[in-house]
Amino acid sequence: MSVPTIKFYVREGLLPAGELTSPNQASYGETHVQRLRLIRALLDVGGLSVAAIREVILAIDDSGRPVHKVLGTVADRMVPRYDREPGAGIAEARGQVGALIAARGWRVHPESPAAEALAVALEALEEVGHGAFTEALDTYADAAERVARADLEYVAHHVAREELVESVVVGTVMGDAIFSALRRLAQTDASDRVFGGAR
Amino acid sequence: MSVPTIKFYVREGLLPAGELTSPNQASYGETHVQRLRLIRALLDVGGLSVAAIREVILAIDDSGRPVHKVLGTVADRMVPRYDREPGAGIAEARGQVGALIAARGWRVHPESPAAEALAVALEALEEVGHGAFTEALDTYADAAERVARADLEYVAHHVAREELVESVVVGTVMGDAIFSALRRLAQTDASDRVFGGAR
DNA sequence: CATCATAGATAGTGGCGCTATCAGATAGCG
DNA sequence: CGCTATCTGATAGCGCCACTATCTATGATG
């Protein structure tokens, strides 16, 4: 972790500046190190952009903001934004997403970035000629619910606001990477059992 | 989809060139359009790089290669590669991953990119002070297994090699995006039920 | 026949995550 | 006390990536 990189993060507002003990000497404490580790995790493992990390960190640090708003901000920043020009397919996909949300009884805004991302993905599937993949959607949603419950259970261990918010951020971002890797492993296993050597 | 962009894809080896009917006229068919849609899906929704897409497409088109090898190539290209300098934490994380693989009975190479990605993520969790998140690992693995089974079931519908391989590619890449969005929705729902308005 | 579009090639653009360089100031050693 | 190594903040530049603009030669088109 080079010094110029750290100063870059300070400039970008990801990291508070060190306390100046003299015009050319600054001291950094454990909180800085902790924050740096968080930045690297979000950047390397979570794949967030510096801009997204800045917003997430601003939300974490803004202690005046209600927790559920912070969580909303964090969730929104972590899904890549699509600005889709309105087409025929995306409208149908949005309908599909709305129906799923209703069927699940999820209390979520059907225009949230996550819902939109789902619609975009479903539309792309359709475009590519694999619209039938949505047969698996219920299984996916079941799995997502289970995982989300586990996430919440973990988060419930943390009571202090600061900890609570950070645990959600970390869990959400890292959880994606972890699940993705696990899915890949499970797929490899399943696939080997079916196609192993043959075909 | 601009013409220069298409020509760029041709240069990059993502798309076969159109058939020249004269020195300044080329004709593109339905297969080209289909391939373009696949490229956009992998790029926009899957977040793959052009280089990764090239390798994936090469693997798809290399009809001599055994199917399970193609699937391996595809899976490996879709995981961002980490080249971690050996440290203390990563070794422990790798051990954790190995234990999980053994416990699950997964027939996978413990040094596959997916296993490595999982280890990196677990190490990052530890570094950030949220090592306890691994309590949820079993739930995650269960969910991953279910999803992988659903994936395989979908893939089983396709018998022709060309279709088979492509369905795996699409399913793997888009599945990540879909699950991620679903998880976000499920989390929002769960989180709202707990923190909704309060706190 | 004049204009316009297209193929192919080469060079350039904009965004992003850093990184190199510079001037000014001081820590710290002899 | 002097001198050099090192730090600070500021500015400019780099390398990668996904395109995009420009150019020339050639042929389509009204």
pLDDT given for residue B197 in this prediction = 55
Q: Is the pLDDT of residue B199 over 90?
A: no
**Band of residue B81 on the pLDDT scale cut at 50, 70, 90:** confident
Nearest-Cα distance to chain B for A5, in Å, is 19
Nearest by Cα to B140 from B109, B97, B76, B170 = B97
Which of chain B's residues 51-90 bind strand D, using a 7 Å CB cutoff? 51
Using DSSP bridges, classify how beta strands A25-27 and A19-22 pair: parallel, antiparallel or unpaired. Answer: antiparallel
Verify if strand C has an atom below 7 Å from the CB of A4. yes
**Band of residue A197 on the pLDDT scale cut at 50, 70, 90:** low
pLDDT given for residue A199 in this prediction = 45
How does the average pLDDT of chain B come out, rounded? 91
pLDDT given for residue A74 in this prediction = 79
pLDDT given for residue A194 in this prediction = 82
**Distance, CA of A117 to CA of A144 (rounded, Å):** 15
Verify if strand D has an atom below 7 Å from the CB of B5. yes
Tokens coding A105 = 């009884």
Chain C bases having any atom below 7 Å from a protein CB? 5-10, 16-21, 24-27
SS3 category, A25: strand
Tokens coding B51 = 């280089």
Q: Tens of pLDDT along A139-157?
A: 999 999 999 999 999 988 8
Question: Between vectors from CA A40 to CA A176 and to CA A118, what angle results, nearest 5°?
Answer: 25
Q: Tens of pLDDT along A59-88?
A: 888 888 887 777 777 788 777 777 777 777
**Distance, CA of B123 to CA of A40 (rounded, Å):** 12
**Band of residue B139 on the pLDDT scale cut at 50, 70, 90:** very high
b (16+ CB within 10 A) / e for B132-166: ebbebbebbbbbbbbbbebbbebbeebeeeeebbb
110-149 of A, contacting B, C-beta below 8 A: 112, 114-115, 117-118, 120-122, 124-125, 127-130, 132-133, 135-137, 139-149
